[in-house]
A = this chain, B = another copy of it.
């Protein structure tokens, strides 16, 4: 007898054969209970076409697990089995969780500092471009990707996708029947991100649509959510983003519907993956204090407000659209690389996180922000450099300094005697604020654009430190060891 095994936080899949008549997506209820000692976890199953049903499970405890299926179809009910959950492989740190109130960490305790980018519709571009996107992501330095389930209809996005999420019905769609090829393809791409160590920030709804997916009936939305969650929740690197720009869909999906979406996702995801939602208009932040929201997503160019959002919501904040590097006509997509690097640093030093995107005009409309492909801008290597700086810093993450003077003008934060002060458009020849009051410390000046770190020596007391006096610099203070 061969014992099946799966690594901790890996994906274990039970495959069953069941009824094909009627509409199995609607007619058949399926789940399974997975047990390890006192732990019992109920995981939802789903129909995978051609009489195949699946239940996916992500074990988070090593050792022996058993399971038993439950279904209103006798062919699927009471199926049992067992497997061994082994130690996680190298590089597998489990799902990302909220940690230290305003920060994140992997479940195994490893720090996770979110450096995300955006390729909304990358899984709808065909294999050649999608594989190029993966190749780019392999070395780009990002560890999260915002991506939509549904294809995108928008400026620069007029191409038809290869797959559609629902089965065709005449000229339209049967919103109660999911297209299996679509989801197999989606899952393949999601899994490939996981293999690269990139969290998949799955956007479940968005307004940019010509197929009708943005205007389904609420019950169809609910069923779709349950189906997607049943399929994807066992991937440890999945995050749920309820929407891109939910506020542009309020006419069809009023606020209470969004609230209910959060409930459905939370109820159907046994692993409690991170959940948030992304606004369009800067005045329309979702009420991220709601209990179903694990962390804050905002779209806002005004990154100096980061501390305000942290305080208002008391959760980790990602400004995942602080405008994109690019040159298109829309002003959310035409800031300079320097400006994006600048905004990113401000978010980080103020104790938050930011998001990257690239929107340069392209002769074939292949813009990274939506379709992926290659990165042509200049911000991404600087953000990779910044990620390195942050990962060398305190594991707990950076907490911003309080107060309006000087920290409303110059971004400063730290953790213990570790300090990171980002001057940006300020170019002091010397600086004394925010230095530790006691102890001996080492000061480095970081050129955020040139990506250099220059050690200024060691210091004691709060005498102002001499600086080069040019823009785009940061000052890093670390206690001298020993």
Contacts and interface: CB of A to CB of B under 8 A. Distances in A.
Interface in A314-339: 323, 327-332, 334-336, 338-339
Contacts of A429: 327-329, 334, 361
A459 to B, nearest CB: 15
A210 to B, nearest CB: 22
Nearest to A470: B336
A240 B328 CA distance: 46
A212 B423 CA distance: 36
A394 interface: no
A168 interface: no
A330 B471 CA distance: 15
Main secondary structure on chain A at its contact with chain B? loop
A382 B329 CA distance: 26
B331 A410 contact: yes
B331 A409 contact: yes
Given A335-B426, A409-B301, A329 B432 contact: yes
A244 to B, nearest CB: 16
Nearest to A332: B409
A426 B339 CA distance: 9
A4 interface: no
Contacts of A433: 331
A42 to B, nearest CB: 45
Contacts of A408: 282
Given A281-B404, A323-B409, A408-B282, A431 B329 contact: yes
Contacts of A409: 301, 323, 331-332
Interface string A400-430: 0000111011100000000000010111111
Nearest to A409: B331
A329 B475 CA distance: 13
A251 B400 CA distance: 30
B331 A426 contact: yes
A405 B248 CA distance: 13
A464 interface: yes
Given A281-B404, A409-B301, A425 B471 contact: no
A426 B469 CA distance: 25
Contact of A327 (B302, B323, B428): B428
A39 interface: no
A304 interface: yes
Interface string A282-308: 110000000000000000011010000
Contact of A329 (B336, B404, B428): B428
Interface in A147-192: none
Interface in A326-376: 327-332, 334-336, 338-339, 361
Nearest to A340: B425
Contact of A404 (B283, B428, B431): B283
Contacts of A328: 428-429
A425 B329 contact: no
Contacts of A423: 334
Given A330-B428, A334-B427, 12 more contacts: A323-B409, A327-B469, A329-B428, A330-B406, A331-B406, A331-B428, A332-B409, A334-B428, A334-B429, A335-B425, A335-B426, A361-B429
8 contacts: A323-B409, A327-B428, A327-B469, A329-B429, A334-B426, A334-B429, A338-B471, A339-B471
Interface of A: 281-283, 301-302, 304, 323, 327-332, 334-336, 338-339, 361, 404-406, 408-410, 423, 425-433, 464, 469, 471
The 5 A-B residue pairs with the shortest CB-CB distance in the complex, in nearest-first order: A339-B425, A327-B469, A334-B428, A331-B409, A327-B429
